[in-house]
Chain A
């Protein structure tokens, strides 16, 4: 094939075959040991450190950095994993600028925080890459727990429960475990098969069985699970996507960004993955950024990311947005889609500029059109398939602080529940805490 950046339409192989590996390689290379030492030396070992408070999983960050300084990154990794078993992935995908690094006193002092994310990655890598699992299971309790969903919440929950000696079955509708880590984030954030490597490493705890291709509702009900298991954890994520609500939305060339990202992540040879010359992404979150940046990396000549409100309201972090801009994504704010112009396939998307009015975002009356061979919709995901009888809080599953739902014996965590900003690290915290609650409950009832 001899396509190029300027080939019209949605075509594969816009780049030289050798270019893809480099394009989608790790955003950051690992620290080497000396770099890690120098970076670690910048930590002040603050009293009651603000970075710990800012971390949803409350990792003892000054301690693990000191352990790196003291020449024991493996011990540092253990400190991290004690709180966050997916500390490896979180080191890659956490919006650290709004979490630990945002709270770092050196951010306040110099605008240059300790690079906690990269240090965490350096530490966790020492155990994951060696495939050395630091935990052992407690003696078997004979209790069985079903974990629905093999994403961050489910994995964190399953690992913690397995550690306590329970037997866990993870049920997941996809082919591979990992949830959004495997299907939902940009490839360059989890390069070299990291998501699967991390799951494999995590599963070494033992006592966890994976049942794949199993969908809640279609292949079994909550009642079935309750009958078979002593407890159930729901980490089912947000399987639905919001629609734009425009006429002609279902048309060739238009698709959900999450599907595009999932397909990209599962494509072995990225030169076979078709991409438009003119790509328009609608949305202002991380999914929109990941879709837009990866479109550029695949060779799309023009990629615009359009958001209906102002930049401040975008849920994508400043860091992510500047990364997108660096990669050549044009970011347009205060513009809402009002029409899709197609001719068998998407041709143009028409937008109206907006301003904040009495009733929310209102059109200013000015419109513009963007050429689009391909349109990705990334305006949010929704909960679908929540089991009957489980109470909701708004559009998500209602949970107490310990993750318990309205149904006795059923817990939930991660994006399918509220209050977590849909971050990986929050899902891990919720899965872990639910596991502790489940454990306490099982041991009480078993006594």
Chain B
């Protein structure tokens, strides 16, 4: 078994309104920054033991499917790195 960190990033599907991101963008613009768009996402870093990187990735994906993301509104991706 090897120690991995699986990073699960959960973001709203394209086209789903994100009022918090819009509010954040407006606040940045009020500070004088110029930007075209801003998207927010949730990132979960999961430390786990697995036989391989693929096995770690699979388990983290299942975590996303079953809890971390809501498939109605979210897409997610998983990246795995050895600890």
Q: Do A and B come from one complex?
A: no
